[in-house]
Structure 1
Amino acid sequence: MAYQADSTRYQDMEYRRCGRSGLKLPAVSLGLWHNFGDTTLHDNARNLVLRAFDLGITHFDLANNYGPPPGSAEENFGRILHNDLKPYRDELIISSKAGYTMWPGPYGDWGSKKYLVASLHQSLKRLDLDYVDIFYHHRPDPDTPLEETMSALDLLVRQGKALYVGLSNYPAEQARQAFSILQQLGTPCVIHQPKYSMFERWVEADLLDTLEEYGVGSIAFSPLAGGMLTDRYLHGIPQDSRAASSSRFLRPEQLTEDKLQKVRRLNALAEQRGQKLSQMALAWVLRNDRVTSVLIGASKTSQLEDAVGMMSQRAFSPEEITEIDSILL
């Protein structure tokens, strides 16, 4: 049976303006870093994508190296897009990135114009698209001049291969330089994707101020700290958990007793608020209007439903903010 989107999909989601641009993103976006490669079941990946869209999640975040193996997440999402979501293409924000190792040799990594242009062309073929909505440089390149990397992003917009450009993992000062170059080129940066959670607050020092100054939105990745900010680890490390498998998302040594004590105290506060810890953690990242969206991963549709359920309880009292800070700091 052909997929038909839920007619109430826009009812409960909030769409937030991305900096000073005309682009709006859902408060919750779905990342396809994990659970969408060739090592996962296609039916589950399809169910996740379609359920996300039915819940009002219109933004699907990819990169050239997502899988595993690299490239397979784009290929699998491309099939879902072709078979199920093609009639809804203009309701979707599809992003991809380049900046990590993708193929052998000197032209398959970092930030040269050669690499970025070739990578996006490959991504478009895998996705079976004419353009992506957002194309990011995935990480700073210590060797390539910033002017070259930014001019490649500008070129790809002018070629019609991307509508907007973004940066990921750039520290504040380097981001400031990149924003300035892009403004001069006439293709302003629309979004920055930093790692941000209750346990990773570096963006608060100066990055968020820089984004506000330049009118750039932001989307926080790993807002649940690799799963630490859920009820998964309240009573130790389950054998089937990410931490038990020493995944790249969460390693056992990160779950110190100090961290676990903080998680338990945060969970108690979430229960007082009538939320799951994961929902409170997402709402906390979104408490600042300079954060446009939170980027979540999911392996089950119930995780998507929980994340979107957070929308009904997003506000924090001053007392709650003070209590959270006292737990974290």
Structure 2
Amino acid sequence: MNINDNSGITNYVAKADRYEQMKYRRCGKSGLLLPMISLGLWHNFGHTDDFNNGRQLLRTAFDFGITHFDLANNYGPPYGAAEDNFGRIFQKDFVPYRDELIISTKAGWDMWPGPYGNYGSRKYLIASLDQSLKRMGLDYVDIFYHHRPDPETPLEETMGALHHIVQQGKALYVGISQYNAEDTARAQEILQDLGTPLLIHQPRYNMFDRWVENGLLDVLRQKGVGAIAFSPLEQGILTNKYLKGLPEDSRAVKDARYLNADHITPEVLDKVAKLNAIASSREQSLAQMALAWVLRDETITTVLVGVSKKQQLLDNIEALKNTKFSSDELKQIGQILG
């Protein structure tokens, strides 16, 4: 029986066939499977966003087998807002499904004033996770990441803090984000010696940003570490959004913090148009092909998407129907990308 809560949205019962809608990959050499599409809460879950829209996005994701929700301490705005709103939605809709969910959060960017609210000290990481758990109303997260390298704190201290967090039972697994190949190898070795495996790396990776191909993917394969690619659509450039110029409601126009309109040059738009032609020949949208392209290498466990509308999420999931590329397609794409 459906009963309205005070938002006007009926109580949530997940679709019975949700696991028939999604494909999963093993995360490195771990026992954990992740959906090939994961939902990120970087945008659209702050206090300035529509709470009920965010709630519907999370429901839709889970109904289609997306079990992994990715957060960070400073996602908002303001900082902490995404975790706070996720916690409210979790309590309303997802408590019965906790053991079916992978909930991740991170710490590493500025979060509160003073010397203890940033980077990678043991003090900051443990305090931040305690705050995150309180905001979300959780006893533990499934994955806790160090969000970026810290040039000053010894890597042994940062990895030791991640190990301690697992030992405390506040996270089941740990990961890192934006680390280069050399530091990733060192982090993995330190954690292995401590007895806590490095589960996953979260790098930026898409057709226009391929830095991970210069050594990082090799390290992840050698060490048995999974990968979740963020910004696989280059903040919307690898979609049909900019094929006809800059729409007024686009992120490039509204918020230059994340995508500056100056970056969308005629050269970039020419490449986008050529890529779009290849996508059409594959009977995919450009966004679907861009996601499939990142997932073509099984070293990438999952791609992290951010959406503002339900249909965007459903369209992204459709990418999984064709993640294979012919050698000719890969050659054509390579020539376009240069």
User: How does the TM-score come out when normalised to structure 2?
Assistant: 0.96
Corresponding position of 1:196: 205
How far residue 12 of structure 1 moved from its aligned partner, in angstroms, is: 2.4
Aligned residues: 329
Q: Distance in 1 between matches of 2:101 and 2:330?
A: 34
Identity of aligned residues (%): 61
Q: Distance in 2 between matches of 1:35 and 1:256?
A: 26
SS at match of 2:228: strand
Q: Distance in 1 between matches of 2:19 and 2:263?
A: 38
**1:167-212, CA deviations, whole angstroms, 9 ceiling, x for partnerless residues?**
0010111111111101110001000000000000000010000001
Corresponding position of 1:67: 76
Code of the aligned partner of 1:97? K
Q: Distance in 2 between matches of 1:248 and 1:54?
A: 32
Q: Distance in 2 between matches of 1:260 and 1:60?
A: 31
How far residue 246 of structure 1 moved from its aligned partner, in angstroms, is: 4.0
Code of the aligned partner of 1:328? L
How far residue 64 of structure 1 moved from its aligned partner, in angstroms, is: 0.3
Q: Distance in 2 between matches of 1:22 and 1:239?
A: 45
Corresponding position of 2:266: 257
Query: Is the contact between residue 246 and residue 252 of structure 1 (CA under 8 Å) also seen in structure 2?
Result: no
Corresponding position of 1:132: 141
Code of the aligned partner of 2:243? L
Task: Find the partner of 2:101 among 78, 83, 92.
Answer: 92
Q: Distance in 1 between matches of 2:256 and 2:163?
A: 36
Corresponding position of 2:8: none
SS at match of 1:213: helix
Query: Is the contact between residue 99 and residue 110 of structure 1 (CA under 8 Å) also seen in structure 2?
Result: yes
**1:110-149, CA deviations, whole angstroms, 9 ceiling, x for partnerless residues?**
0000000000000000010000000000000011110000
SS at match of 1:10: helix
How far residue 55 of structure 1 moved from its aligned partner, in angstroms, is: 1.0
Alignment of 1:39-118 (within 5 A): 39-118=48-127
Task: Find the partner of 1:166 among 157, 170, 175.
Answer: 175
Code of the aligned partner of 1:180? E
Alignment of 1:228-267 (within 5 A): 228-267=237-276
**1:225-280, CA deviations, whole angstroms, 9 ceiling, x for partnerless residues?**
01000000001111111111243221111101111000000001111111100000
SS at match of 1:37: coil
Gapped runs of 5+ residues in structure 2? 4-10
Moved more, 244-253 or 75-84: 244-253
Q: Distance in 1 between matches of 2:51 and 2:17?
A: 26
Alignment of 1:243-322 (within 5 A): 243-322=252-331
Code of the aligned partner of 1:168? S
SS at match of 1:278: helix
Q: Does residue 37 of the first structure (1) align with residue 46 of the second (2)?
A: yes
SS at match of 1:73: helix
Query: Is the contact between residue 16 and residue 292 of structure 1 (CA under 8 Å) also seen in structure 2?
Result: yes
**1:267-301, CA deviations, whole angstroms, 9 ceiling, x for partnerless residues?**
01111111100000000000001000000000000
**1:39-80, CA deviations, whole angstroms, 9 ceiling, x for partnerless residues?**
001100100100110111100000000011000100100111
User: How does the TM-score come out when normalised to structure 1?
Assistant: 0.99
CA RMSD of aligned residues (A): 0.7
Q: Distance in 2 between matches of 1:75 and 1:11?
A: 30
Corresponding position of 2:232: 223
Query: Is the contact between residue 12 and residue 311 of structure 1 (CA under 8 Å) also seen in structure 2?
Result: no
How far residue 314 of structure 1 moved from its aligned partner, in angstroms, is: 1.6
Moved more, 136-145 or 5-14: 5-14
**1:142-169, CA deviations, whole angstroms, 9 ceiling, x for partnerless residues?**
1111000000000000000000000001
Code of the aligned partner of 2:97? Y
Code of the aligned partner of 1:143? E
Q: Which runs of 4+ in 1 moved over 6 A?
A: none
Corresponding position of 2:187: 178
Q: Distance in 2 between matches of 1:300 and 1:200?
A: 25
Code of the aligned partner of 1:324? I
Code of the aligned partner of 1:299? S
Task: Find the partner of 2:332 among 319, 323, 326.
Answer: 323
Code of the aligned partner of 2:230? F
Q: Distance in 2 between matches of 1:85 and 1:246?
A: 32
SS at match of 2:106: strand
Gapped runs of 5+ residues in structure 1? none
Corresponding position of 2:161: 152
Code of the aligned partner of 1:13? M
SS at match of 2:20: coil
SS at match of 1:56: coil
